[in-house]
Amino acid sequence: MSLQILLIEDNEQNRYLLSFLLQSRGHTVTHAIDGPAGLACARAATPDVILLDIQLPTMHGYDVAQALRRIDTLHRTPIVAVTSYAMPGDRERALAAGCDGYIEKPIDPDTFAGEVEQLARIPPRQGASA
């Protein structure tokens, strides 16, 4: 199953690597380099899954996740934090902000695309409209 993936990531090297890994599995990846651009892309494209860096310029990733959850067409869209925030409580904070999954950086190139594919199939969030 080919996925439409929105990658919100400000680091060019990370964008390249993550996109390469996902595109090599047949997925289409759209990029945004910050929160406002990511929100605009999400509204326009309605992706199958959103990969969200937490440490972004201009708008923090937690705020981006909350804003994405307020977009009616994205209630059922999985949002996955892909972040170097890996201290105790960071995963829970990402989930509380609206993310459905969490992948720590540095990612494992051998398993990353499979993790994303699996997280793209998670059930809709509680309270999401049908």
Residue among 91, 87, 18 at smallest CA distance from 61: 91
Binning pLDDT at 50, 70 and 90, where does residue 48 land? very high
User: HSE-up of 90 (CA within 13 Å, CB side)?
Assistant: 16
CA atoms within 13 A on the CB side of 81: 28
Average pLDDT over residues 62-73: 96
**Does some domain include residue 128?**
no
Task: Assign residue 103 the CATH number of its domain.
Answer: 3.40.50.2300
User: What confidence tier does 130 reach under pLDDT thresholds 50, 70, 90?
Assistant: very low
Q: Tell me if 130 is assigned to some domain.
A: no
pLDDT for 82 equals 97
In a domain, 124, yes or no: no
Q: Which residue has the tokens 């599995």?
A: 25
Q: Is residue 129 left, alpha or beta, with left meaning phi > 0 and alpha meaning psi from -120 to 50?
A: beta
In a domain, 18, yes or no: yes
Average pLDDT, the chain: 93
Q: Is residue 47 domain-resident?
A: yes
Question: What pLDDT sits at residue 126?
Answer: 53
Host domain of residue 9: 4-119
Q: Per residue in 1-37, pLDDT tens?
A: 799 999 999 999 999 999 999 999 999 999 999 999 9
With a pLDDT cut of 90, the percent of the chain lying above it is: 87
Residue 99 forms part of a structural domain: yes
Does residue 80 form part of some domain?
yes
Domain count, the chain: 1
